[in-house]
Structure 1
Amino acid sequence: MPVASLQTPVGPLAVTVEGEAVTRLTWDSRTEDAPCALLDEALTQLRAYFDGRLKTFDLPLAPKGNDLHQAVFKAMLDIPYGQTRTYGDVAKELGTFGQPVGQACGANPIPVIIPCHRILAATGLGGYSGSGGLDTKIALLKMEGGYPFLL
C-alpha cells in the first residue's frame, strides 16, 4: 500500500492508498516509496486545505466500517467547510442515537478529509480521536472559522 506524509499545522499526516482510493489518514511521518498519482493528489489537496485554498476534498475514499459508520462518514462529508453539526443532529438525520454517531466519528479512518472535527456535542466540543485530541479539533475548527466563540 502506498503511503506518503506531509507536515501540517496539526502535525505530520500520512495518507494511505489501497487500489484506487484513500483508505487511511494517520498522524505520523511514515512514507513508503511507491509512486502513486492518487497519493500525490491527496497530498496536494491536503496542502491546499491547510493553506486555506481548498474547502472540499475531491478524492475517491474507501473508509472501512460497518453500515452505520458508512452513513455517518457520508453525513460528515455533507457538512460544508466552516459549519458544524451535533452528534444529535446527525443521529436524528440517520434515525439513530448520538452515542453510536460518536463511536463512528471515533472510528473514522480518514480524519480531516472526512471531517469528523465538524461534529460537536450539544453542550461543547465532544471528543476527537486524532493526535492532539481536542487541541487538534479546535485548531481545525478555528482554521475553518467553524466555531466562532473559539476565535
Structure 2
Amino acid sequence: MMTTVAFAEVSTPVGTLVPAVTEEGLVALGWGRAMAAHERLGPGLAEVHDPDRTALVVSELNAYFAGELRVFETPIDWRLTSGARRVVLQALHRVPYGTAVTYGELAARSGSAVPARGIGSIMGSNPIPIVVPCHRVIAGNGLGGFSGGEGVETKRRLLTHEGYLQPMLLDL
C-alpha cells in the first residue's frame, strides 16, 4: 500500500515552512516549496491534497510563532527514521521549550553510542526542525550550526523567540 503525504505552506517569521503529513503524522518540515515529496521524502509516497490532515501542525506552528504554544502535540511519523538516528531525534523531541543542550548532553540523554560529533550530523539532517527542535542543541563554545532557513541566524532567532537568548541590541 502506498503511503500518502499532504503538504501545506505556513508563512512564519523565519520563512515559509512546508509541513509534510502522512496518515501517521508529521514526517517532514522544510523551508519553501523546494521540499517536494520526491526530493525530501523519497519514493513510495503519493502526494494528496488534504487540508484536514495538515490543519493541526499549521495551527500549532502559527501558535508557536505567536508565542502561544510551547509544546507541540502534532503526532510524529517516525517510520522514515531508524536506528540511532531515530533514538537521538526522539530524545531531542523531549528537550523543553526555552532550554538548550550541548551535542554531548544530547548524546548522553539519548543513551545511544553516537558521539557528540555524530549528533551534529544527525541534527543537520533532522527532517522535522522546530517541532523536533534541533535549534535547541548548541556547541559547548557557542551556538553551533543550523541547516534550516538562513542557517545560524535562524537558530539565533528561534532561541531568542523561546527566551533562551536575549535579543541583540543593535547600534543605530
TM-score by length of 1: 0.91
Over the matched positions of the two proteins, sequence identity in percent amounts to: 35
- Work out which of the residue numbers 39, 53, 73 in structure 2 matches 1:58: 73
Give the one of 25, 44, 48 matched to 2:59: 44
Greater CA drift, 128-137 or 27-36: 27-36
Per the TM alignment, residue 100 of structure 1 is displaced from its structure 2 partner at its CA by: 1.1
Matched, 1:142 2:160: yes
Question: Could you state the TM-score of these two structures normalised by the residue count of structure 2?
Answer: 0.81
Deviation of 1:148 (Å): 4.1
TM-fit CA distance, 1:131: 1.7
- Superposed CA deviations along residues 35-79 of structure 1, whole A, max 9, x for unmatched, are 242301110000000000000000111243231111111111111
Secondary structure of 1:127's counterpart equals coil
Q: Which residue of 1 aligns with 2:102?
A: 86
User: 1:127 Cα shift?
Assistant: 0.6
Deviation at 1:96, TM superposition (A): 3.2
**Count of matched residue pairs:** 151
Runs of 4+ in 1 over 6 A off after TM superposition: 30-33
Match in the other structure for 1:106: 124
Indicate conservation of the 8 Å contact 2:84/2:114, yes or no: no
Structure 1 residue 22 and structure 2 residue 15: aligned? no
2:147 maps to 129
Task: Give 1 or 2: higher helix fraction.
Answer: 1
**Hey, what's the Cα distance between the residues in 2 that align with 1:4 and 1:67?**
29
Contact 1:83 1:118 in 2 (8 A): yes
Q: Report what 1:76 is aligned to.
A: 92
Q: Secondary structure at the match of 1:71?
A: helix
Q: 1:20 to 1:37 in 2, by over 3 A?
A: farther
SS in 2 for 1:2: strand
Unaligned stretches of 5+ in structure 2?
Answer: 37-46
The structure with the larger Rg is: 2
Cα RMSD for the two superposed structures: 2.0
Compute the displacement of 1:109 (Å).
Answer: 0.2
More moved, 92-101 vs 81-90: 92-101
Distance 1:150 1:109 in 2: 29
